[in-house]
């Protein structure tokens, strides 16, 4: 283990999911460029107490939601009526580290999409569903914890009808669907990642 990885483990503690552990569930050959990305751990020691309790640091290999479904038990991810045929399901991204909030900020529940965005901290952004689902799966598969299990959380993706995508992780698996941005529910918050 090199110095950067030791720092990352000290920074986030048990909420750190390393590349080796993640690759047990998403096995693939890392390119040299990807190895370089994952060798650098973008952590800042000043915010350890807050992040250690509320966030997980996970590798994001850039797989689409459909890719993840192919790697794993298909039943672990299921789609609601409004999300099942949408383009965002097949979107891929560049590999990177993600520092994701384990649950929705409680202040974001029972608000419209616009009002939920106002609850984000300056250093936070709303991730796409792909990023959220990757993190939720890795945390669950490696340490057995279901993040985003208390409430559904809206993501940055939108469907053809204009509503934002949401996801939740209950005993049936991860449900992905969407709803109009004007909907306010006590069980609907917003997903959040920290900028790294």
Range of the domain at 150: 3-194
Helix (H, G, I), strand (E, B) or coil at 179: strand
Task: Please say whether the beta carbons of 176 and 65 come within 8 A.
Answer: yes
Q: Is the pLDDT of residue 44 over 70?
A: no
Tens-digit pLDDT profile for residues 99-122: 999 999 889 999 999 999 999 999
115, burial (CB in 10 Å: exposed 0-12, middle 13-18, buried 19+)? middle
Tens-digit pLDDT profile for residues 108-166: 999 999 999 999 999 899 999 999 999 999 999 999 999 999 899 999 999 998 899 99
Q: Helix and strand tally (H, E) in the chain?
A: 7, 9
Q: What is the reported pTM? A: 0.92
Average pLDDT, the chain: 89
Task: Please say whether the beta carbons of 112 and 154 come within 8 A.
Answer: no
The total number of structural domains in the chain stands at 1
* DSSP sequence for 118-175: TTS-TTEEPPPHHHHHHHHHHHHHHH---TT-SSEEEEEEE-TTSPEEEEEEETTEEE
User: Side-chain half-sphere of 168: how many Cα atoms within 13 Å?
Assistant: 14
């Amino acid at each position: 283990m090199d110095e950067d990885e030791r720092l990352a483990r000290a920074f986030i503690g048990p909420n750190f999911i390393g590349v080796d552990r993640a690759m047990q569930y998403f096995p693939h050959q890392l390119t040299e460029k990807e190895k370089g990305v994952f060798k650098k751990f973008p952590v800042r020691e000043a915010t350890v107490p807050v992040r250690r309790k509320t966030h997980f640091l996970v590798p994001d290999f850039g797989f689409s939601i459909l890719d993840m479904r192919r790697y794993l038990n298909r039943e672990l991810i299921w789609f609601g009526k409004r999300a099942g045929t949408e383009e965002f399901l097949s979107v891929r991204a560049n590999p990177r580290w993600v520092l994701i909030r384990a649950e929705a900020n409680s202040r974001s529940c029972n608000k419209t999409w616009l009002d939920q965005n106002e609850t984000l901290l300056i250093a936070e952004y709303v991730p796409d569903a792909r990023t959220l689902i990757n993190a939720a799966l890795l945390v669950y598969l490696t340490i057995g914890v279901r993040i985003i299990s208390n409430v559904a959380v809206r993501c940055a993706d939108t469907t053809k009808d204009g509503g934002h995508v949401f996801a939740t992780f209950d005993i049936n698996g991860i449900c992905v669907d969407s709803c109009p941005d004007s909907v306010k529910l006590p069980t609907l918050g917003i997903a959040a990642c920290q900028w790294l």
